[in-house]
Amino acid sequence: MADAFIFPGQGSQFSGMAKKLYESNPFVKNLFEQANDILGFRISDIMFTGSDEDLKQTSVTQPAIFLHSVAAFKTLQDAKPDMVAGHSLGEFSALVANRVLSFEDALRLVFIRANAMQKACEQHPSTMAVVLALTDEKVEELCAAVQSETGEVVVPANYNCPGQLVISGTIKGIEIACERMKAAGAKRAMVLPVGGAFHSPLMLPAKEELAATIEITTFYQPSCPIYQNVLAKAVTDTTEIKKNLIDQLTGAVRWTQSVQAMIEKGATKFTEVGPGKVLQGLVQKINKEMVVNGVS
């Protein structure tokens, strides 16, 4: 039996996030003020009173979710994860939880990542779409066919759970792919309200920018393995952790495979730490026998 701690990614934000935690816990309040100083603006104010539109800005969303997740984890005084994982952005929160990154360094990396991704989105108009009720293999096959025939970028981006896969690419490529997915029997193939093709080759400029900072950041030996998105297996070597964190920007989030790998290594309980309950739902869709709970 093993306890797995999992951390959410972009999309879990909401107005008022972590406000109660901030007001009730002096340690969390101090952590937020430290974050405001590091970022150079009061992200806490945007989290507590900002509009949904304010919170959708990638340069705000990512540090906000990271801050909420780490603050929630640090209130768990007896938490000793046997393994950790994070969905996309959540990988940085997981690396604080298993002591690979300091809070300060991780927050700086998240902010650099967010701004680099925002710039990449502006350079290449692009989007993502969710595909429901097709096998992963069929989605992969159709994406490859669209790319081959049109020259447009279309790739699998988020393997969320069986029957739910998010694809990423150029606007034209995604539109064509969605029509192909529906024709192949998808229950749904719907373009998402995002302004960029995350986890696709279109994020290459952001990958290069993030890599330069990751290479000069200190990564410590982990207290437990992290199951990283691009490999979906346990990693403890810091050099490999760095490489996988960089590759994640243009590679797929293999969440289904990561959760399955954690279960194979003995995970019986999954605790989602941070805003929302998205990952709890995905874990139960991957394996309904798992015990799931959340800390926010």
Say if residues 12 and 60 touch (Cβ distance below 8 Å).
no
C-alpha Rg value of the chain to the nearest Å: 18
Strands 267-273 and 291-295 turn out to be parallel
- What the block records as the tokens of 195 is 């302004």
Please report the sign of the dihedral spanned by the C-alpha atoms of residue 280, residue 282, residue 285, residue 286. negative
CA 87 to chain centre: 3
Residue with tokens 């969605």: 178
Marked catalytic residue, from 12, 44, 59, 88: 88
Say if residues 177 and 146 touch (Cβ distance below 8 Å).
yes
Distances (CA, A) of 208 to 127, 198, 268: 20, 14, 37
| Alpha helices (H) in 189-272, listed in sequence order | 204-214, 238-247, 255-264
Is residue 124 part of the annotated active site? The answer reads: no
* CA 10/CA 90 separation, integer angstroms: 8
* CA 42/CA 32 separation, integer angstroms: 9
* CA 250/CA 24 separation, integer angstroms: 39
Distances (CA, A) of 158 to 23, 70, 200: 35, 23, 10
Marked catalytic residue, from 12, 93, 199, 258: 199
* CA 208/CA 2 separation, integer angstroms: 36
Is residue 68 part of the annotated active site? The answer reads: no
Active site residues: 88, 199
